[in-house]
Amino acid sequence: MDKWLWAARFFKTRALASHACELGRVDCNSLTAKASREVKVGDLLRVAHEGGEVEVRVLGLSALRGPAAVAQTLYQETPESIDKRRRLAEERKAGLHFEADREGKPSKRDRRELDRLRGRA
C-alpha cells in the first residue's frame, strides 16, 4: 500500500505514506489499510492527506515512482470525490477573511474590546 501511494504521488515519501496508514487515513474497500497491504486493480481507496480527502479506484500497479503523467494513469478519481473537492474549493474561496486588512499590534481600543470579550474588565 505505501509503495503504491508513493508511486501514485499521493505522498512525497514512503515514510509519509506508511505513517498515514498507521494513523488510519487510508481506507481500502471501506477497511482501514495497513502499509503492508497488497493493492489490487479495482480496489477503492479513500486517502486523506494535506490536499484533502480523495476517493480513487486503482487502475494499475507500480512499485516505481515515475513522472506525474504516468502516476495519474494508476488511478481514477470517483465523480463523487471530484464534486466534493470542487465544492470545498468554492466554499474556501467564498469564505470571509476576518481581519485580513489589519497590520501590527492591536490598538488600545482593540485591547479593551478583547479584555471585555474575555471577561477581564
CATH number at residue 49: 3.10.290.10
Decide which of 29 and 51 is more confident: 29
Average pLDDT taken over every residue of the chain: 90
Task: Name the maximum alpha-carbon separation found in the chain.
Answer: 64
- State the average pLDDT over residues 13-39: 94
Whether residue 25 lies inside any domain: the answer is yes
Inside any domain, residue 95? no
State pTM to two decimals. Answer: 0.74
Question: For the chain, how many structural domains are there in total?
Answer: 1
- Residue 8, domain member (yes or no): yes
Enumerate the H helices of the chain as residue ranges.
2-7, 14-22, 68-71, 79-94, 108-118
